[in-house]
Amino acid sequence: MCLSIYNCNIRRMFSCFPSNATFIRSNNIDTAAAAAAEEARRQQEAEEAARQAAEEERRQQEAEERRRREEEEREKREAEEALRKIEDEKRAAEEAEKRKIEEEKQKAEEAERKKREAEERRKREEEEREEAERKKRQEEKLIMQKAAEDLKNEAKRKAEERENFINSRVEPLATDGLNEAQMQDLVKKLHGKMAELEEEVYDWEFKLRRQEFEINDLTLKVNDTRGKFVKPVLRKISKTEAKLAKLERTKKDDFRTTLKSSGHKHDKIEEEEAPAEEA
C-alpha cells in the first residue's frame, strides 16, 4: 500500500515537466523508481518480517498465556477437586458418624423398648399368675366351704337317719310303776336284744370283709388277665405260717372280742389279704 502511494507521487511529479524532456529523464525516473521500489520492497519485507516476528511473538505470548491460564485452571481445578474430595470425605465421615450415632441411638431405643416390653410382660404375667392364684384360692375356699357345708349336712342327715332308725328299732321304755323284779326282767330282755344285735353286727361285718376280699381278688385276676396289672409295692411282712396262725386264732376268738376291735376293720382286711399276696 505504501509503494502504490509512492509511485503515484512520482508520476504526479514527472507529469509537470515538458514532454520533450520526458524520454531523457524516464530512465532516471525508472531507475529511481526501481530503487525506490526495491527499497520499499525491502522495507515492506522488513516490516512484514517484523510484523511476522511480532505476530509470532504475539502468538507465542498468547500460547504461553493460554498455557499459563490452562495450567492455572488445571491447578485450580485440581485444587478444587482436591478440596471437593476433602469436603466429600469429610461429609461422608460426618454422615457415617451421624449414621453410627443414629444406629446406636436406635439400638439403645430398641433395647430399651424390648426391656420395657419384657418388664411389662413380666408384670402382666405376674399379675395374671397372682390373679389365677387368687381365683384358685377363692375357688378352693368356696369348694372347702361347700364341702364343709355338705359334710355338715351329710352329718346332720346321717344323725337324723340314725335317730330315726334308733327310734324305729328301739321302743320307748316304760319304767314307770315297775318293781324290782319287773325291772330285772326288762334288763334281761334288753341284754338279750343287745346280744342279738351284736351278733347281727358281727355277721354283717364278717360278710362285708369277705366280700371286699373277694372283690379285691377278682379285680387282681381281671387285671392280670387283661395285662393291665400294676405290680404293687409289697411291704415287708412276716412269714406266711405266722399270718395263717394269727388268722386261725382270730376266727376262734369270741364274737364279743371281735366286736371290740371292729373299729380296725381295714387292718383285719389287710391281714387277711397278706396270705393271698404271699401265695
Tell me what pLDDT residue 263 has: 45
236 occurs within a structural domain: yes
Q: Are residues 117 and 160 in the same domain?
A: yes
215 occurs within a structural domain: yes
Q: pTM for the complete prediction?
A: 0.30
Rounded to whole angstroms, the Cα distance separating 45 from 54 reads 13
147 occurs within a structural domain: yes
Tell me the per-residue pLDDT of 87-100, one tens digit each, with 9 for 90 and over.
888 889 988 998 99
Given a contact cutoff of 8 angstroms between Cβ atoms, the answer to whether 198 and 258 are in contact is no
Tell me what pLDDT residue 206 has: 92
Band (pLDDT 50/70/90 cuts) for residue 147 is confident
Band (pLDDT 50/70/90 cuts) for residue 211 is very high
42 occurs within a structural domain: yes
Q: Are residues 161 and 197 in the same domain?
A: no
Tell me what pLDDT residue 184 has: 86
Percent of the chain with pLDDT over 90: 15
145 occurs within a structural domain: yes
pLDDT value at 262 more than 60: no
121's grid cell: 410382660
For residue 117, CA distances in Å to 112, 121, 272 come to 8, 6, 65
Task: Find which of 67-71, 104-108, 268-272 is predicted with most confidence, using mean pLDDT.
Answer: 104-108
Q: What angle do CA 137, 141, 146 make, to 5 degrees?
A: 150
How many distinct structural domains can be found in the chain?
A: 3
Tell me the per-residue pLDDT of 9-37, one tens digit each, with 9 for 90 and over.
555 555 554 444 454 455 666 677 777 77
Mean local confidence (pLDDT), 255-273: 46
Task: Find which of 51-55, 191-195, 263-267 is predicted with most confidence, using mean pLDDT.
Answer: 191-195
Domain that includes residue 6, residue range:
1-48
Tell me the per-residue pLDDT of 162-205, one tens digit each, with 9 for 90 and over.
888 777 777 777 777 778 888 888 888 888 888 888 898 899 99
177 occurs within a structural domain: no
Q: Are residues 235 and 207 in the same domain?
A: yes
Q: Are residues 162 and 193 in the same domain?
A: no
Band (pLDDT 50/70/90 cuts) for residue 214 is very high
pLDDT value at 71 more than 60: yes
For residue 224, CA distances in Å to 58, 168, 189, 217 come to 130, 47, 53, 11
